[in-house]
Homo-oligomer: A and B are copies of this chain.
Amino acid sequence: MPKHAKEMEALIEHLGKHQLKFTRQRELILDAFLKQEHITAEEMYHQLAKKDPHLGLATIYRTLNLFCEAGLAQARHFGTQTQYDNTSHKGHHDHLICTDCGKIVEFENCDIERLQEEVATRNGFTIQTHRLELYGLCSRCRH
């Protein structure tokens, strides 16, 4: 059984529903993407240049955005670039961000997630994904 069978199937299902095609590039990019917790398009471009020097940057952007629509990725804007988070990596999707030095601490908190579910249910929503970012000063920068 391939490493990322579940995600591959999710992608194929999304493609089918939207009359999109399964291409060599999409498979290549999915494989590379699922190995990371998060990555930028530029990083992936350089990483994949070794396997396929002709893979265009535009294709990577398009495909990562496709993954977002399929629910496999989630875009996060930080600094000047866009980070694409791998949503199959369960924890570590919440962030503490130092507004002074830019330090990022990833965390996971079950209690918060449970309360989020509660809020959603109370409002008739079914949560697919979420984004939680806490901005402040880290211990170093506070002084």
Chain A residues packing against B (C-beta within 8 Å): 74-80, 94, 96, 98-99, 105, 107, 109, 111-112, 115-116, 119-120, 123-139, 142
25 contacts between A and B (CB under 8 A): A74-B135, A75-B99, A76-B135, A77-B78, A77-B80, A96-B125, A99-B128, A107-B119, A109-B119, A111-B115, A112-B115, A112-B116, A112-B119, A116-B132, A119-B134, A120-B136, A124-B139, A125-B134, A125-B138, A125-B139, A127-B136, A128-B136, A128-B137, A130-B134, A132-B133
Kindly state the separation between the CA atoms of A78 and B78 in the bound complex, as whole angstroms. 9
A134 neighbours in B (Cβ, 8 Å): 116, 119-120, 125, 127, 130
Kindly state the separation between the CA atoms of A94 and B128 in the bound complex, as whole angstroms. 16
Q: Which of A75, A76, A127, A132 has the most CB of B within 10 A?
A: A132
